[in-house]
Structure 1
Amino acid sequence: MPTILVADDDVNIRELVCLFLKNDGYATAEAVDGKEALRIYASMKIDLVVLDIMMPVMDGWDLCKELKKANPDLPLLMLTARGETWEKVKGFDLGTDDFLTKPFDPLELTARVRALLKRYRIGSTQKITFGTVTLDRLTYKVTRGSESITLPLKEFELLYKLAGTPGQVYTREQLIDQIWGLEYAGDARTIDVHIKRLRERFATTTEFRIETVRGLGYRLEVYE
């Protein structure tokens, strides 16, 4: 799986970004400033860097220059507190591939990361297979043997989330936060509706079952 390096001196932002990236199937590494980011980059394989502009010791501008000097093909996503045009122009001149202005929606960040990795053709092992069923996060396709099953986006995301960690119990609130987003203002019972639809779609499938854990939430059990 691709590894994303997150360089930001704000611990809360690092933790938030890494949480959503991990939920999206990526490995992460963290750095508090540009110099630490360079040390990490030199010590392990990094596929993309999310970097803040304003950091101590070495800021995002200098980090961007050093990373592009080391690897011109490394995708970079820069975070900026103001999003002013001159900052974007300078960033693009230095080799940044994309910008995101704080405060940002973590789901937009992960979408931009996916787009950059796709642009650079960096492969991702975002496939889950059990028995004859395969879930492909890159194409949002579900196959069961030779049969192709089309799911609405949220149903796919929900099934993919549960299938990624078979046996793990997720509460409705966790699933809402991770799939619908922290800003979702609807009823958490919408999870029940989507679970019901998934159960109906896969009623004849013997490879897995979505189980209700009374008083807690849901989990997916895989049967070999």
Structure 2
Amino acid sequence: MLVVEDERAIAELATLYLKRDGFGVHVETDGHAALAAVRRLKPVAVLLDVGLPGMDGVEVCRALRAAGDWTPVLFVTARDDEVDRVLGLELGADDYVTKPFSPRELVARVRTVLRRGTPQTTSVHVLGRVKLDTDRRRVWVDDAEVALTSTEFDLLAHLMRHPGRVFAREQLLSAVWGYAAAAGTRTVDVHVAQLRAKLGDPNPIRTVRGVGYSAEAS
């Protein structure tokens, strides 16, 4: 686990609880060192402070995604504004934790993100132009592979496993993110918008006005 945090007390607290939960932890304090560490160490996930000196966490995440690196990223920030949360998710972050945070909740969030990356079935699902392989965690549109974040994949997989079924946003938060109360439903909307942009048009995701989303053949 890579922890990128320039506040020593927070880095030490996160490290303590992550190690208690069985993680090996490496700490960096600036963005440039964080990028180098991701490439060198291949961590299972990155706990990334947004307010880093020099190259901030947003720039680090943007650089990783631009390079095709989809290592799970959890943003940590003192900002609690929805605009900031949405920006982080749009950049490809997998979760968003606001300071001050409970270290136990932090570890639980890390575990939830990592569980999303664990294959649960060997089934291949096809809806219209989209084929999804849950065993290999790969997605194709018209035989061209599409790169998705861990969260985007799990959201699409959940919808495609239940074609035609309509899920409320709160149900998707619970099923995909593992919690409902700690995140706003805007989180779901952002990820759906990102999926649609990556899958192109037509795509299987349907908006059911006033309710939520479903997946149906185009």
When the two structures are superposed, what TM-score results if normalisation uses the length of structure 1? 0.51
Question: Shift of residue 72 of structure 1?
Answer: 4.2
SS of equivalent to 2:25: strand
Structure-2 residue corresponding to 1:77: 74
1:88-107 CA-to-partner distances (Å, cap 9, x unmatched) read 11101100111111000000
Q: Secondary structure of the residue that 2:33 maps to in structure 1?
A: helix
Give the secondary structure class of the aligned counterpart of 1:82. coil
How far apart are 1:69 and its partner, in Å? 2.5
- Partner of residue 9, structure 1: 6
Counterpart selection for 1:90 from 78, 87, 92: 87
Aligned positions of 1:161-180 closer than 5 A:
none
Residue 120 of structure 1 aligns with which residue?
Answer: 117
- Structure 1 residues 117, 69: CA separation in 2 closer, same or farther (over 3 Å shift)? same
> What does the per-residue CA deviation read over 1:22-73, in whole Å, with 9 as the maximum and x for residues that have no partner?
0000111111011010111121121100001111121011001112223443
Pairing of 1:48-197 with structure 2 (within 5 A): 48-121=45-118
Residue identity matched to 2:103: P
- Can you give the 5+ residue segments of structure 1 that lack an aligned partner in the other structure? 123-224
Which residue pairs with 1:20 in the alignment? 17
Larger radius of gyration: 1
| Shift of residue 6, structure 1, vs aligned partner | 0.5
* TM score, norm. by length of structure 2: 0.53
Q: Distance in 2 between matches of 1:93 and 1:102?
A: 20
> How many pairs does the alignment contain?
119
RMSD value, Cα: 1.3
1:38 and 1:48 mapped to 2: Cα distance? 13
**Distance in 2 separating the partners of 1:71 and 1:25:** 28
Task: Give the percent of matched residue pairs that are identical in Structure 1 and Structure 2.
Answer: 42
Provide the C-alpha distance between the structure 2 equivalents of 1:67 and 1:20, rounded to a whole number of angstroms: 26
Which residues of structure 2 form unaligned runs of 5+?
120-218
> What is the DSSP-based 3-state SS (H/G/I as helix, E as strand, rest coil) of the residue aligned with 1:99?
strand
